[in-house]
A and B are shown apart, each in its own frame.
Chain A
Amino acid sequence: MNARKIRELVAWLDRIDQGETTLESLQRSDPEVGKELAELLKTVSAVRRTADVSPSETFRSGARFRLLNRVAARFPAQRAEPVPGPQAALIPGLRRVFFGLAVAVGILLIGVLGSIPVQNALPGDALYPGKLGLESLQLLASPAAEDAILQSRFASNRLTEIQLLIVQGRYDDVDAAVRRYEDNIDRAVLALTEVARDDGGQTYPILKRIEMDLDGYATTLAELMAFVPGETQIVLARAIDASHLWSGN
């Protein structure tokens, strides 16, 4: 087959594949080319039909866990350090000055270090309230219709925090992350209700997306059970329940 013929067939193939024309109309105008392309398009369809394959949930969550631990090890978050000295000894006026200074230094630190230490902060870290504050700002800055998706994304943040807390052996802080995880899911439910009220057509795709996310989170949480002591298992079970309450599993 010569180059010109190939170019012609490729162009037809693209046009049909992109819906600009149909095989039937090509077959009417050029039966020979139409016949040749019909066979190739059948092959394309066959390959596409076979493409429906996904990794197992065990692999999906396990690989995510290992990968994010590796990333987190590269970019450690700043931990809260115990404050030295007896604060009670400070006179009230001096304490106010110190508080003002601390706020100023905090703002300066966030500005100087950028938002990454804040983004990687975990419950119990000094910068963690800053991370939650950034999330609140995101909610304020986005349309109400996206609140449910954002809350689901924040729940994913909590899931990552839970993983990292477990890796670091900070089991006492897991409860705080789980409480926030539950809160994010509750808020996603409420936000979705608003979407349903305003524009019911948008609800279903958002719901399906969040359901899929939460099913994945529940699987990851279940996998984590094996790595934590009994008391923390009870806490994780709460988070799994919260995921299932939503998805109805």
Chain B
Amino acid sequence: MSPPAAESPDHETVARAIAGEVEAFGALYDRYLDDIYRFIRFQVSRLEDAEDLTEIVFLKAFEGLPEFRTGRRMTNFRAWIYRIARNLVIDHYRTRKPVLPLDLEMPSTDESGRPEDRAQFREESDRITRAVGRLEEPFRPVIVMRFVGGLTYKETADALGLTENYVRVIQFRALKKLKEFLEE
């Protein structure tokens, strides 16, 4: 098991949120909304589900703040909220089968460039997200946390309850699988 994570840069904001300062929790929401939404959007097929789950993540985070404070191992808020998101995605899969392959039809936020380039980008994005969707646990969350969310090995390990070295190996194997899927 990994050693305790370094103190989160959100420490002060989290402390204020735990004490009941509404605006502090608003700040945490603003800071992590995009990351959590992106993490979930990569793993569930329907936009509405992604939005619902994202909102639930923050509600659960709020409800669980006292637990976060007393938790001995998890001291990194980012890793902690990713863990909540990951558990919700797992629950979502359990209750809504079949869910794969994904058909995300994720729009690019970049509307610049020629239409044909955008169409090509979208096609490529769909192909990649479908391939990511075919990965199983814990390969998929590792790939999404590391390369979509930009989490460090330590944060990914904390969020998934794994060791850093194990995350490294899983990441490597996941990339190999992903490459195979993309070549099919």
Residue positions of A touching B, CB distance < 8 A? 6-7, 9-10, 13-14, 39-40, 42-44, 46-55, 59-60, 63-64, 66-68, 70-72, 74-75, 114-116, 119-120, 153, 156-157, 160, 164
**B19 an interface residue at 8 Å Cβ cutoff?**
yes
A164 CA to B17 CA in the complex, in Å?
17
Contact between A71 and B182 (Cβ–Cβ < 8 Å)?
Answer: no
Binary contact readout B26-51 vs A (1 if CB under 8 angstroms, 0 otherwise)? 11011001100110011000000001
Return the 8 tightest CB-CB contacts between A and B, nearest first: A75-B20, A51-B148, A55-B37, A50-B125, A47-B147, A119-B21, A63-B55, A40-B175
Partner of A46, one of B34, B41, B182: B182
- Given A53-B106, A160-B22, 8 further pairs, Cβ under 8 A: A7-B169, A14-B168, A55-B37, A59-B54, A60-B33, A64-B33, A70-B59, A156-B27
Contact between A68 and B26 (Cβ–Cβ < 8 Å)?
Answer: yes
**B176 an interface residue at 8 Å Cβ cutoff?**
yes
Q: Kindly specify which of B4-12, B70-78, B107-115 makes contact with the partner chain.
A: B107-115
Q: A46-B182, A74-B20, A119-B21 are in contact. Are A53 and B62 (CB under 8 A)?
A: no
Query: Could you name 18 residue pairs across A and B whose Cβ atoms are closer than 8 Å?
Result: A7-B169, A42-B179, A47-B128, A47-B147, A47-B178, A53-B106, A53-B109, A54-B34, A59-B51, A64-B26, A64-B29, A67-B29, A68-B22, A71-B25, A72-B22, A114-B19, A115-B21, A116-B20
